[in-house]
Amino acid sequence: MFKEFKSIFNLNWIYIFILLIIFWIGEINLYSAAGGSLDPWASNQLIRFLFFLPFFFLVIMLEPKFIFNFAEIFLILVLIGLITTLIFGYTGMGATRWIRIAGFNLQVSEFTKIALVIFMAKYFHKLNAEKTIGLFKSILPLIVSVIFFILVAIQPDLGTAVIILALGLVVIFYAGIKLIYPLISIGIVLSISPILWTFLKPYQQNRIQIFLNPDLDPLGRGYHIIQSKIAIGSGGLKGNGFLEGSQSSLDFLPEKETDFVFAIFSEQFGFTGSILLISLFFIMFLIPVLKTFKLTQAFNKIILFVLSFKIFFEFLINISMTIGILPVVGVALPFMSYGGSSLLSNLIICALLLNFMSINEKKRMFS
């Protein structure tokens, strides 16, 4: 089940270094979001991080074969978790997203993303296609993705649900579905989007309308976007400086510790800081991706590529939200937003990435 201990010395230390830098920027940011105080967010997040470290190393040390073999089990576990959430879940802010396990509020949907990617990686690995994949062979992963999308969407948590579906589609695309199918689906989605609109809950429709025109409700839902843009815009080229963000320190920015944490960062560190952060995340995305080119096992490649993409993708969606180019759908900024489940799931992903980056494919693995 576990690798030999000495394999820990083969880890990609640059990746770990970047991860630590990003987490540390997140800590500094939570510190400034509280107006220059560790309390309540920065300290809590650090404690969580330390608490999660054993899990992090545990996942690093897992045998890839174990992960491969248990792919379906993981998926069934998150399926049970999601159904449990829907039935017994803890309700907060109008949505039932959490279950209580051993004193922790766990957001199962965060882990669904990982389990789904592992499951689909295994599926396509076993498919072992010689050429591009037809529609028929993509039906099963597609159906599975949609089932999980629906289970999360009815919590309701549209942001996470969309990410789950998107990751499923990215796997299918990456695994080599014929290009014609994605193109056709895009066409179909665009043409039935007015019908999809009617399936959205009023508050979701509202969010999208306000995204398109924040001034519809400048003191209500539009307030978030307007204030976030003010915070970011007022940061300017160089930023106001550490702890000098007036928008955030004076409480104009709601949800500043979670969804809008980037606005806090950008107000203090400006355009320069923002570009640096984007670069860091892009490098973090590329490191595992570059490794994929050296690998020949589809399972390894899919896990490395798609999970690495997941972190970068969520990063882009989150900041797009805060700068008003995507509707506010509630996607956390990896390692920077305050929140346990997001931190734990992203740490697990990084552990998986580190684990798979250290694979030596010369050994027979999945037999």
Partner 1 sequence: MEKNKTSEDSIKILNRRSFIIIIVGAILSFIVSLRLFSLQVINFNFYKKKSVENKLSIKLTPPLRGDIYDSKKNLIAGSSSLYEFVVFKNLSKDHFQEIKKLDSLISLNLNFEEISKRLKKYNEYSGFSLSRASWEQIVEFEKNKFLFNSIKIIESKKRFYPYQNFSQIIGYMGQPTQSFELYSKGVFHLEKSYEKHLKGTPGKIFSEVNAKGKTIREISIEKSIKGNDLDLTLDLSLQNYAQSQLPRNKKGSIVVISVSDGSILSMNSNPTFDAQIFEDRQNNKIQDLLNDDQKPLFNRAFSGFYPPGSVFKPISALVGLQRNLIDPQKVVFCKGHSSLGDRNYYCWKKKGHGKVNLKKAIKESCDVYFYELAKKTNIDDIASLSSNLGLNKEYDIGLSNIGKGLVPSKKWKKAYLEESWYQGETLITCIGQGYNQTSPLQLATLYSALLNGGKYPIPKLDKNTPTKFTGKLLNNEHQKIIVNSLNAVVQEPKGTAHKLSISNPEFVKIGGKTGTSQVVRIKESEREDDQYKSKEIEERFKDHSVFVGYAPYDKPKYVASVIIENGGSGSAVAAPIAHKILDFAFKNNV
Q: Which one of residues 123, 285, 335, 338 is an interface residue with partner 1 (CB under 8 A)?
A: 285
Q: d(Cα 49, Cα 116) in Å, to the nearest integer? A: 24
**360 belongs to the binding site for partner 1 (CB under 8 A):** no
Among the listed ranges 17-25, 136-144, 184-192, 323-331, the one in contact with partner 1 (CB under 8 A) is 323-331
Tokens (6 digits) for 148: 């999980």
Non-local CB neighbours of 177 within 8 Å, separated by 6+ positions = 132, 133, 134, 135, 138
Q: Which one of residues 175, 344, 357, 359 is an interface residue with partner 1 (CB under 8 A)?
A: 175
Amino acid sitting at position 94: G
Class of residue 154 by CB neighbours under 10 A (exposed 0-12, middle 13-18, buried 19+): middle
**247 belongs to the binding site for partner 1 (CB under 8 A):** yes
Number of residues this chain uses to bind partner 1 (CB under 8 A): 58
Amino acid sitting at position 52: F
- Provide the minimum distance between the beta carbon of 33 and partner 1 in the complex, in angstroms, as a whole number: 14
Adjacency order of strands within the sheet including 104-106: 90-92, 95-101, 104-106
**23 belongs to the binding site for partner 1 (CB under 8 A):** no
- Provide the minimum distance between the beta carbon of 264 and partner 1 in the complex, in angstroms, as a whole number: 13
Residue closer to partner 1, measured from CB, 87 or 219 = 219
- Provide the minimum distance between the beta carbon of 274 and partner 1 in the complex, in angstroms, as a whole number: 5
Tokens (6 digits) for 122: 């295994």
- Provide the minimum distance between the beta carbon of 169 and partner 1 in the complex, in angstroms, as a whole number: 11
Q: Alpha helices, DSSP H only, in 154-245?
A: 158-175, 180-199, 202-212, 221-235
Binders of partner 1 among residues 101 to 140 (CB under 8 A) are 125-126, 128-132
Q: Which residues pair with 224 in a beta bridge?
A: none
Between the alpha carbon of residue 130 and those of residues 62, 126, 240, 362, the distances in Å are: 30, 12, 55, 21
Per the document, the length of the chain is 367
**365 belongs to the binding site for partner 1 (CB under 8 A):** yes
**349 belongs to the binding site for partner 1 (CB under 8 A):** no
Amino acid sitting at position 152: V
Residue closer to partner 1, measured from CB, 49 or 335 = 335
Tokens (6 digits) for 316: 């882009």
Q: Which one of residues 25, 232, 287, 328 is an interface residue with partner 1 (CB under 8 A)?
A: 232
Q: d(Cα 347, Cα 261) in Å, to the nearest integer? A: 19
Q: Which one of residues 7, 12, 209, 320 is an interface residue with partner 1 (CB under 8 A)?
A: 320
Tally of CB atoms within 10 A around 102: 5
**255 belongs to the binding site for partner 1 (CB under 8 A):** no
Q: What's the chain's Rg over C-alpha atoms?
A: 21
Q: Which one of residues 193, 198, 296, 360 is an interface residue with partner 1 (CB under 8 A)?
A: 296
- Provide the minimum distance between the beta carbon of 266 and partner 1 in the complex, in angstroms, as a whole number: 7
- Provide the minimum distance between the beta carbon of 190 and partner 1 in the complex, in angstroms, as a whole number: 17
Q: Which residues pair with 2 in a beta bridge?
A: 62
Cβ–Cβ < 8 Å for 135, 183: no
**159 belongs to the binding site for partner 1 (CB under 8 A):** no
Q: Which one of residues 135, 251, 276, 283 is an interface residue with partner 1 (CB under 8 A)?
A: 251
Binding mask 300-319 for partner 1 (x = CB under 8 A): -xx--x---x--xx--x--x
For strands 90-92 and 95-101, give the pairing: antiparallel
What residues make contact with partner 1 under the rule CB under 8 A? Answer: 125-126, 128-132, 170, 173-176, 227, 229-237, 246-247, 250-252, 266, 270-271, 274-275, 278, 282, 285-286, 289, 292-293, 296-298, 301-302, 305, 309, 312-313, 316, 319-320, 323-325, 364-367
